[in-house]
């Protein structure tokens, strides 16, 4: 994805001294000599400067940033999923010179791996763990890379673009209305259909059992007296909360 | 007695034991503190490895309050963002909203009108006082002093009433908009605010301070406990009172002023003690400073519109930005990426409590178990901010 602003450079809210930013850009020549070629540098809003380095040079660059340029703080680590690639973005602060630097590392989408900065900045410990948790970036050399905010047995990485908050398919669950063995075998689908139609076929006065999941279709039946005959509403599928619900079958069906 | 710890490896589990001259070993004990514990200020769980009464290792376990806030931002339009970020640091929602709205403004390259910027400064400083009052009051409560929390909440109630008059809500205000604020100050609000400020700084705050600074138990439990030296504070990227108590002069309002802070100079409140008492002192001094800023902003308050005209369906240009504000706990930032649509492509929230909490295992190691609460309380975490 191309993120270059279309309408020229975006305006900075804070009118930072241009000299001040130029000074940082000049100092970054040290990074250029280390890498061997000029790294791409951009001016960002709010008086920040962004550079991009190759993942295998990140630790060397960070060492230069800390020891020579005086960036004492690693403030923020963010992972961004751009579908075709994944970025790990670091924000460094220098208090002495009042600089804010953004370092961007481009990783492959299949195997997002980059060296950990924990040896240089202790604050990288939890910051990197959080991005592993959310985006799934592997920080090589991290001593304790496990989930931090989510459960240990959580599946998937929520901040990826292809992550679905609700599962597309439902697993069969045991209900109180059929015995557990049949419920998990998927056999209750047909069985339940029969129970519902029989139960509701006895007249409008009869109240639905309070424990029965209705998903609205029984209410329709009670109002109109129509529908819910076996086979009558075969193709009628409505979506509720992302699950496909067959209206003559109160249980959400598994999507094949 | 030699004490063997794994210094290089902050969190990893490893064998910890003490050994005396005759080779006798004492076994450590695992103690679960939380998640339901009154002095963890929320749902934080600390797994403490104890040797007698000495803490050998501490592993914080969090995420009990994780609500997927960053994912929510991606699925809601820009205008809905301030409502959701209210709940991140639920003790300073106004400052969170300024952070979100400011990030979008910075991408768009717009600036709110001067009156909106001054109103933002006033509510941010009020919110900072409210947040520090909770921090100081509950800190006293943690250490066994019951009255300070009641006296602190007395003033906080007035601030919440002021916010209610302003925005209609006491906690989740939803008051900031991209390009300004939602309502102008209601009639009589300024007088009420000034009256409260006079009463607070002349009478109520000295009373509160007398209860804590004059309390011998409180002072002896906080002074010299939980020392952080400046190098450590920088290495762990601590911000807010945590770092200013160690003598590091870092305050976003001072270093990179935003909004009307460019015209209202903030005097940073520094301490050099680096211990729990110094952090408490920084918070008390910052409240006095905040009152001064509120008065200055009320004096200078310009007239004019309170908001730019901006479309409901906001489509900022493509780009990325990193916008920081100073909350009561430190630097709160949003790294926001816009792809030109109505929804943010990515909004990463840098939460001050989360980063500040990281030093806790380092601080607790070797301390007595009684100091765990004193040190944890001095960090002043909000679990909504840690877990997001």
The pLDDT tens digits for A220-239 are: 555 555 544 444 444 444 44
pLDDT: which is higher, A21 or A149: A149
Nearest CA in chain B to A102: B322
**Choosing among B236, B322, B362, which should be mutated to test the A contact, i.e. which has the most A CBs within 10 A?**
B322
For range A58-78, the mean pLDDT: 89
The residue that leads in pLDDT, A122 or A237, is A122
pLDDT recorded at residue B126: 93
Q: Which has more confidence, A246 or A60?
A: A60
Say if the Cβ atoms of B322 and A44 lie within 8 Å.
yes
B387 touches chain A (CB under 8 A): yes
| Closest-CA distance of chain A to residue B299, Å | 23
Q: Does A121 sit within 8 Å of B320, measured CB to CB?
A: no
**A122–B10 C-beta distance less than 8 A:** yes
For the segment B199-208, the average pLDDT, to the nearest whole number, is 90
**Which pair of tokens denotes residue A5?**
């602003």
CB contact under 8 A, A125 and B10: yes
Percentages (nearest 5) of helix, strand, coil residues in chain B:
45, 15, 35
Percent of chain A, pLDDT > 70? 57
Q: Is B256 on the interface with A (CB under 8 A)?
A: yes
Q: Do A89 and B335 touch (CB under 8 A)?
A: yes
User: Using 50, 70 and 90 to split pLDDT, how confident is the model at A130?
Assistant: very high
Is A10 close to B236, i.e. CB distance below 8 A? no
Per residue in B22-41, pLDDT (tens digit) is 776 667 778 888 777 777 77
What's the mean pLDDT in A136-147?
88
Contact A76 B9 (CB under 8 A): no
B322 interface with A at CB cutoff 8 Å = yes
Which residues from chain B sit within 8 angstroms of residue A87, using beta carbons? Answer: none
* Residue A159 pLDDT > 70: yes
Inter-chain contact B63–A149, Cβ cutoff 8 Å?
A: yes
B67 in contact with A at a CB cutoff of 8 Å? no
Distance of CA B265 to the CA centre of its chain: 21
CA nearest A101 in B: which residue? Answer: B322
Chain B residues close to A134, C-beta within 8 Å: 70
Do the chains contact at A46 and B66, CB–CB below 8 Å? Answer: no
Residue B374 above 70 pLDDT?
yes
| Residue contact A1–B339, C-beta within 8 A | yes
- Chain A contact present for B321, CB below 8 A: yes
Q: Residues B81-99: what's their mean pLDDT?
A: 90
Instruction: Encode pLDDT of A206-215 as tens digits.
Output: 444 444 444 4
Pull the structure tokens for residue B230: 């400046």
The reply to whether B341 touches chain A by the CB within 8 Å rule is no
Strands (E), chain B: 2-3, 18-19, 25-26, 29-33, 45-51, 54-61, 176-177, 180-181, 319-327, 330-338, 344-350
A197 has pLDDT over 60: no
pLDDT band at B161 (very low <50, low <70, confident <90, very high): very high
The verdict on a CB contact (< 8 Å) between A46 and B322 is: yes
CB of B267 within 8 Å of a chain A CB? The answer is no
Name the residue of chain B whose CA is nearest to A71's CA.
Answer: B234
B318 and chain A in contact, CB less than 8 A = yes
- Average pLDDT estimate for B78-107: 90
Nearest CA to A133 out of A101, A160, A157, A106 is that of: A157
DSSP state of B45: E
Using an 8 Å CB-CB cutoff, list chain A residues near B257. 14
d(CA A246, nearest CA chain B) in Å = 28
**Facing A73 at nearest CB: one of B66, B111, B234:** B234
Task: Identify the closest residue of chain A to B362 by CA–CA distance.
Answer: A122
In this complex, which of A78, A98, A121 lies closest to B335 when CB atoms are compared? A78
| Residue corresponding to tokens 């439990």 | B221
B11/A91 Cβ within 8 A: no
Please compute the mean of the pLDDT values over residues B82-96 and round it to a whole number.
90
Predicted confidence band of residue B348 (pLDDT cuts 50, 70, 90) = very high
pLDDT 10s digits, B214-250: 888 888 989 888 899 899 899 999 998 989 898 888 8
**8 Å CB contact of B105 and A13:** yes
Measured between beta carbons, which residues in chain B are less than 8 angstroms from residue A44? 320-322
Q: Is the pLDDT of residue B13 over 50?
A: no
Flag if A123 and B358 touch (Cβ within 8 Å): yes
Give the pLDDT of residue B282: 92
CA distances from B217 to B115, B132, B214, B272, B285 (A): 46, 21, 9, 22, 21
CB contact under 8 A, B337 and A3: yes
Judging contacts by C-beta atoms under 8 Å, the chain B residues touching residue A81 are 346
Q: What is the mean pLDDT of residues B149-174?
A: 90
Inspect the interface and report whether the beta carbons of B63 and A13 lie closer than 8 Å.
Answer: no
Mind giving me the DSSP string for chain A? -----SSSSPPPSS---HHHHHHHHHHTHHHHHHHSSPPPEEEETTTEEEEEE-GGGHHHHHHHHHHTS---EEEEEEEEE-SSEEEEEEEEEETTTTEEEEEEEEEESSS-EEE--TTT-TTHHHHHHHHHHHH--EEET-TT-S-SSS-TT--S-TTSTT--SS-SSPPP---SSS-HHHHHHTTHHHHHHHHHHHHHTT-TTSPPPTTS--TTHHHHHHHHS-S--TTTTTT-EEEETTEEEETT-SSPPPP-
How many Cβ pairs within 8 Å bridge chains A and B? 140
Do the Cβ atoms of A73 and B237 come within 8 Å? yes
Q: Is B251 on the interface with A (CB under 8 A)?
A: no
Whether the pLDDT of residue A136 is over 80: the answer is: yes
pLDDT confidence of residue B58:
87
> B111 — contact with chain A (CB < 8 Å)?
yes
């Amino acid at each position: 994805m191309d993120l270059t602003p279309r309408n020229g450079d975006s305006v900075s809210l804070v009118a930072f001294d241009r000299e001040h930013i130029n000074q940082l850009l000049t100092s970054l020549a040290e990074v250029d000599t280390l890498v061997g070629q000029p790294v791409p540098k951009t001016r960002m809003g709010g008086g920040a400067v962004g550079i991009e380095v190759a993942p295998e040079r990140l630790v060397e660059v960070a060492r230069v940033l800390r020891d020579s340029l005086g960036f004492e703080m690693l403030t923020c680590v963010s992972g961004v999923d751009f579908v075709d690639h994944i970025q790990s973005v670091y924000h460094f602060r220098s208090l002495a010179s009042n600089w804010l630097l953004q370092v961007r590392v481009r990783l492959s989408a299949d195997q997002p791996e980059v060296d950990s900065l924990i040896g240089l900045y202790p604050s990288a410990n939890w910051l990197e763990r959080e991005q592993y948790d959310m985006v799934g970036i592997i920080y090589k050399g991290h001593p304790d890379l496990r989930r931090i905010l989510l459960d240990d047995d959580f599946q998937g990485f929520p901040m990826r673009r292809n992550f679905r908050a609700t599962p597309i398919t439902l697993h069969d669950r045991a209900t109180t209305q059929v015995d557990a063995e049949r419920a998990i075998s998927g056999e209750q689908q047909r069985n339940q259909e029969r129970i519902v139609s029989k139960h509701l076929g006895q007249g409008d006065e009869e109240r639905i059992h309070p424990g029965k999941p209705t998903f609205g279709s029984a209410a329709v039946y009670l109002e109109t007296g129509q529908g819910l005959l076996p086979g009558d509403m075969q193709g009628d599928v409505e979506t509720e909360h992302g699950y496909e619900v067959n209206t003559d079958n109160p249980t959400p069906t598994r999507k094949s | 007695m030699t004490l063997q710890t794994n210094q290089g490896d902050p969190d990893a589990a490893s064998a910890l034991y003490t050994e005396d001259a005759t080779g006798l070993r004492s076994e450590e004990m695992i103690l679960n503190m939380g998640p339901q514990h009154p002095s963890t200020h929320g749902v934080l769980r600390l797994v403490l490895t104890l040797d007698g009464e000495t803490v050998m290792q501490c592993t914080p376990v969090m995420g009990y309050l994780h609500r997927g806030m960053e994912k929510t931002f991606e699925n809601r339009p820009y205008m809905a963002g301030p409502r959701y970020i209210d709940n991140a640091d639920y003790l300073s929602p106004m400052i969170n909203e300024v952070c979100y709205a400011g990030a979008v403004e910075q991408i768009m390259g717009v600036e709110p009108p001067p009156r909106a910027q001054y109103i933002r400064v006033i509510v941010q400083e009020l919110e900072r006082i409210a947040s520090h009052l909770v921090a100081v009051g509950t800190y006293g409560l943690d250490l066994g002093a019951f009255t300070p929390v009641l006296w602190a909440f007395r003033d906080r109630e007035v601030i919440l009433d002021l916010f209610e008059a302003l925005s209609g809500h006491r906690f989740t205000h939803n008051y900031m908009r991209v390009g300004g604020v939602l309502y102008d100050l209601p009639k009589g609000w300024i007088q009420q605010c000034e009256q409260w400020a006079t009463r607070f700084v002349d009478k109520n705050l000295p009373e509160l301070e007398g209860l804590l600074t004059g309390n011998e138990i409180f002072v002896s439990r906080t002074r010299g406990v939980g020392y952080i030296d400046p190098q450590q504070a920088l290495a762990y990227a601590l911000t807010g009172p945590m770092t200013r108590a160690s003598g590091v002069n870092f305050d976003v309002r001072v270093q990179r002023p935003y909004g009307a802070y460019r015209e209202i100079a903030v005097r940073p409140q520094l301490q050099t003690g680096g211990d729990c008492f110094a952090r408490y002192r920084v918070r008390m001094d910052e409240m006095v400073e905040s009152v001064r800023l509120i008065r200055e902003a009320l004096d200078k308050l310009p007239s004019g519109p309170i908001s730019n005209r901006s479309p409901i369906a906001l489509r900022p240009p493509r780009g990325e930005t990193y916008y920081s504000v100073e909350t009561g706990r430190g630097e709160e930032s949003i790294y926001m990426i816009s792809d030109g649509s109505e929804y943010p492509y990515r909004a990463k929230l840098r939460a001050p409590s989360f980063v500040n909490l990281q030093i806790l295992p380092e601080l607790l190691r070797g301390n007595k178990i009684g100091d765990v609460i004193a040190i944890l309380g001095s960090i002043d975490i909000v679990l909504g901010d840690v877990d997001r």
